[in-house]
Amino acid sequence: MKATAKAHTNIALIKYWGKRDDALILPTNSSLSLTLDGFYTTTTVDFQEDLLQDRFILDNQPVEGEAYRRVTEFLDLIRRIAGKENLYADVHSTNDVPTAAGFASSASGFAALAAAGTKAIGLELSDRELSRLTRQGSGSACRSIYGGFAEWEMGNNADGSDSYAVPIAPAEHWDIRVAAVVLSSTMKKVSSRSGMKRTVETSPFYSGWVDTIPNDLLEIKEAIHAKDFEKTGSIAEANCLKMHATTLAADPPFTYWHDTTMRVMQTVQEMRENGIPAYFTIDAGPNVKVLYLPENEENIKKTLRNIPGVSDVILSKSGSGISYL
């Protein structure tokens, strides 16, 4: 009972920031992302009658601790749906997500695990069912079921039955690109999990964040459908700044930014002043992702690489959804 699946990571243009239910991973706001071709995870799940527990090998290394626990708990969900509670699996994953690029590999990781695991155990799920299940491994992963642009609808039900991602526009709709700007220095990390929790519980700016999301979503979807780069980019950039503002007002306050993070943000704004359309977005870490159009690729790459404190710039096109190998 074996299957292999591949999933790409995604970058949120309208961020998921805050949970209303920690156990089921239900968000306080809907979000929207672009799936990226350059960063992916390939996972094989092999359920075997004679195994006494799950085994998880990531990039040829056996995994234990917290990461192992998250994988087995997710496999428990799959086993429960399939009614095969005592069937354990051998899980082999490879991440083609350069860790330094600052993409959470959890998005591509849980999407690939959900796809390979359900197929291996003999479940036939629709994309929507698969997205709803994937959400319970890692929130942002539920958007990686689809290629191109996807929206995670937050839903209202307490059991999470209406909280899943839906496709907005496929990768072929629009050749929009993303440069992942990797910084040379690192800093102490506040995980997205604990960062969003602290913000929800203590930041007086949090209600302002939640209130403005429906309009951001409405506007960015119009912009994406019209292929309006300026509008798409400026909404995404403002939404990112708004998310990061909530952390500054948390108790205790924190920020994911670094001096180089701000230098990259300023450079992107200067590029715009010089007539090159580019916009930034930043997740729960110091690295910056820059949105641009193909005709400006060379210029973008050169300008970003020259910023002091930047160690690498990795370019990506928009990517496809889940595939089975």
Helix boundaries (H) for 86-150? 106-120, 127-135
Question: Toward ligand PMV, which CB reaches closer, 10 or 44?
Answer: 10
Query: What residues from 120 to 149 belong to the interface with ligand PMV (CB under 6 A)?
Result: 138-140
Residue with structure tokens 């979503």?
A: 217
Min CB(19)–ligand PMV separation in Å: 9
Among 9, 106, 131, 281, interactor with ligand PMV by CB under 6 A:
106
88 vs 103, which CB is nearer to ligand PMV? 103
Residue 311 corresponds to which tokens in the numbers above?
Answer: 């160690």
To which H or E segment does residue 302 belong?
A: helix 297-305
Q: How many residues bind ligand PMV (CB under 6 A)?
A: 13
Which one, 20 or 193, has the nearer CB to ligand PMV? Answer: 193
Shortest Cβ 283–ligand PMV spacing (Å): 4
Residue 94, phi then psi, degrees to nearest 5: -125, 135
Helix axes 206-225, 229-248, angle to 10 degrees: 170
Place of tokens 């095969």: 84
Contact call for residues 102 and 180 (beta carbons, < 8 A): yes
Name residues contacting ligand PMV, limited to 241-260 (CB under 6 A): none
Q: State the amino acid at position 219 in one-letter form.
A: E
Judged by beta carbon, residue 141 or residue 304, the one nearer ligand PMV is 141
Q: How far is the CB of 66 from ligand PMV (least distance, A)?
A: 13
Pick out residues in 176-205 that bind ligand PMV (CB under 6 A): 192-193
**How do 61-62 and 88-96 pair as beta strands?**
unpaired
Residue (30 or 303) nearer to ligand PMV, CB: 30
Q: What is the closest distance, in whole angstroms, from the C-beta atom of residue 240 to ligand PMV in the complex?
A: 9
The Cα–Cα gap between 226 and 221 comes to 9
If the CB atoms of residues 117 and 139 are measured against ligand PMV, the closer one turns out to be: 139
Among 89, 91, 101, 104, contact with ligand PMV (rule: CB under 6 A):
104
Q: Helix crossing, 192-202 with 229-248: angle to 10°?
A: 70
Tell me which H or E stretch contains 215: helix 206-225
**Binders of ligand PMV in range 1-60 (CB under 6 A):** 12, 15-16, 31
- Give the interface with ligand PMV as residue ranges (CB under 6 A): 12, 15-16, 31, 104, 106, 138-140, 192-193, 283-284
